[in-house]
Amino acid sequence: MDNVAKARALAVLVPAALLGGAYIGEYGFGLYPCEMCWWQRYPHFAALALGLAAYALKPAQVWSALAGLAILTSGLIGGFHAGVEYGWWEGITKCAAAPGAPGAAFDFSAPIVSCGVVQWELWGISLAGFNFLISTFAGAAIVALSAYRK
């Protein structure tokens, strides 16, 4: 398998796996997403579409690299979100505000989840932290594989 084929496969598998994990956590275990959790999902939706485009459109390297950049974007948002959860910096007011406060995000159809609350962690790493680690490295690898041909 050459580098372009690897990049194309990763460009589909990584966002599909991370989105799948997010939805399993949400619907299977009641881990409702906060606003910044959704911000992390949007680039993965785009990456999945771009990764699939790499199978249908030429040149595949360009579409794969764009998918990698979208995955990397999600990872950077996840890094910011993890920093808010760990208390390293202050979050965005709308996301971290109490329900009913001016500018607070309030959706009557879903439980209210603050962006500064860790709902689940493993080895001291939150879901946003895992997204940062996985997406940052995978996104960079996809871009690198797309750039180099054997």
Query: Based on C-alpha coordinates, what's the Rg of the chain?
Result: 17
> What does the pLDDT profile of the chain (150 residues) look like in tens digits?
687 788 888 888 889 998 998 888 888 888 888 888 888 989 999 999 999 998 998 888 888 888 888 998 999 989 988 888 888 887 775 665 544 444 445 445 556 677 667 777 778 778 788 888 888 887 777 777 776 665
For residue 11, with 0-12 CB atoms within 10 Å meaning exposed, 13-18 middle and 19 or more buried, which class applies? buried
Map out the domains of the chain as residue ranges: 3-147
Flag whether the pTM goes above 0.75: yes
Question: For 115, which DSSP code?
Answer: T
The CATH architecture assigned to 3-147 reads Up-down Bundle (1.20)
What pLDDT, on the 0 to 100 scale, is given for residue 94?
A: 64
What pLDDT, on the 0 to 100 scale, is given for residue 129?
A: 83
CA distance linking residue 117 with residue 40, whole number of Å: 16
